[in-house]
Amino acid sequence: ATPTATMVGTAIGARTGVLFKGGDVLERVRDTDTVVFDKTGTLTEGKMHLTDVVALEPTTDGGVVDRTTDGGTETLVDELEPEDELTEEFVLAAAASAERGSEHPLARAIVDGARERGIEVVEPSSFENVPGHGVRAKTSHGEVVVGNRKLMRDEGIDPTPASDAMERLEHEGKTAMLVAADGYLVGVVADADEVKESAGEAVSDLKARGLDVLMLTGDNERTAEAVAERVGIDPGSVRAEVLPDQKADVIEDVQSEGKRAMMVGDGVNDAPALASAYVGTAIGSGTDVAIEAADVTLMRDDLRDVVKAIRISEGTLSKIK
C-alpha cells in the first residue's frame, strides 16, 4: 500500500473501532482466506454460568459409590451415614470447594453457582491446577477432582458411568465436568456460555465472501460442535480439545497447507496463536497480551467487525492501480 492508502485505511478503521497495527497489515487482512475463531470469550460471551448438577446413582456393582466396602482408610464411604443420599448438594459443594482455588471462568461459575444456591464454599487445604483438564484439591469433602474425562482416567477413575449425563449436556453445547471425591465418581456439573449475538452474521458474511471459517477450542468435541452449529460453522471445521500450548500449532498446521489465516481471539490461552497467524486479531475487552500479540484490534465486542476489517482493507487497497 502507498503511505496514503495506509493512512486512509487506518483512519477509517480507527473511526469505527478497528485498529490496524503497522503498514502492511491492510494487505495481509485483504489476503486472508481463512478465519479461525477461538470459542470461549470470542464466539461466546465468555461469561460462564452454572447450569446443571447431576448426582450419579450410587451402585455397588457399577461402582459409582460402594457403601459396603470399607478399606479401613478414611473415605467418603466412611463419612456417609447409611441414610445419607449422594445428593446434588454434595456434588456441587465438593466441586465448588475444589474450584475455589482456580481463576478459570469454568471454576468461577461453579463457585458462584454454589453460593447462589446457598452452599457454603470452604477453601481447599491444598489445590492443584491441571491446565486444559481441571483441578485437584484437598477439601472438607475429601480429595476432590473436577475436570474432563482424561483427567479422571489419569486419576484411575473410570468416567463411563457418567457418559449419559455428559453426552446429554454436551449436546446442549454445555461444558460438562466430572466430579470425583476420594476416588469415587460422584457426579457431573455443567457450565454454559451464551453465543454472541453477532456471531452467526459474521460467520455467514465471511463464508459468503468465500473465506473458510474454523473454530478452535480446548473444550470437548461434542460441546464444540453444538456451539459451531449455532453459529454456522461446519462440524468438519472444528478443532476441539486443543491444549492451550497447542493452539499456535493448529494455526501453523492450517498455514502449512498454504492458507493465510486470521486468528480471532480474546487472548485467554490464545496469544501465541494470535502471534503465529498471518493476521492476529484481538477482540473486545481483549487482554493486554492479546492486543500486544495482535495485528488488528477490534475495540467493540462485535464479531461483524472482522468482516468490516476485511471490507476496509479491500476498499482502501482497491484504489491502488
Catalytic residue positions, numbered:
38
Residue 108 contact, options Mg ion, ligand ADP, none, Cβ 5-8 Å cut-off depending on partner type: none
Can residue 173 be called a binding residue for ligand ADP (CB under 6 A)? no
Which residue of 155, 219, 302, 305 would you call a contact of ligand ADP, by CB under 6 A? 219
Can residue 181 be called a binding residue for ligand ADP (CB under 6 A)? no
Q: Identify the sign of the CA torsion 261, 262, 266, 272.
A: positive
Beta-sheet strand order (sheet of 34-38): 18-20, 296-298, 279-283, 261-265, 34-38, 212-216, 238-239
CB contact at 8 A, 176 and 166: yes
Which has the closest alpha carbon to 310: 238, 211, 216?
A: 211
Q: What is the largest CA-CA distance in the chain?
A: 83
Number of residues that bind Mg ion (CB under 5 A): 3
**Minimum CB distance to ligand ADP, residue 289 (Å):** 14
Can residue 215 be called a binding residue for ligand ADP (CB under 6 A)? no
- Length in residues, the chain: 321
Stretch that binds Mg ion, among 36-44, 159-167, 233-241, 292-300 (CB under 5 A): 36-44
**Minimum CB distance to ligand ADP, residue 134 (Å):** 4
Q: Which three cell numbers stand for residue 212?
A: 473458510
Stretch that binds Mg ion, among 12-20, 33-41, 292-300, 313-321 (CB under 5 A): 33-41
Q: Which three cell numbers stand for residue 153?
A: 482416567
Residue 107 contact, options Mg ion, ligand ADP, none, Cβ 5-8 Å cut-off depending on partner type: ligand ADP
Can residue 148 be called a binding residue for ligand ADP (CB under 6 A)? yes
Can residue 104 be called a binding residue for ligand ADP (CB under 6 A)? yes
Nearer to ligand ADP, 9 or 161 (CB): 161
Binders in 260-299 for Mg ion, by CB under 5 A: 268-269
3-class secondary structure, 242: coil
**Minimum CB distance to Mg ion, residue 306 (Å):** 18
Nearer to Mg ion, 254 or 273 (CB): 273
The burial of 31, by beta-carbon neighbours within 10 Å (0-12 exposed, 13-18 middle, 19 or more buried), is given as middle
Can residue 139 be called a binding residue for ligand ADP (CB under 6 A)? no
Nearer to ligand ADP, 182 or 219 (CB): 219
CA–CA distance, 239 with 212 (Å, rounded to integer): 13
Residue 104 contact, options Mg ion, ligand ADP, none, Cβ 5-8 Å cut-off depending on partner type: ligand ADP
In DSSP terms, 177 is beta-bridged to 189
Q: Report the relative pairing of strands 175-181 and 142-147 from DSSP bridges.
A: antiparallel
Q: Which three cell numbers stand for residue 149?
A: 474425562
Q: Which residues here bind Mg ion, judged by CB under 5 A?
A: 40, 268-269
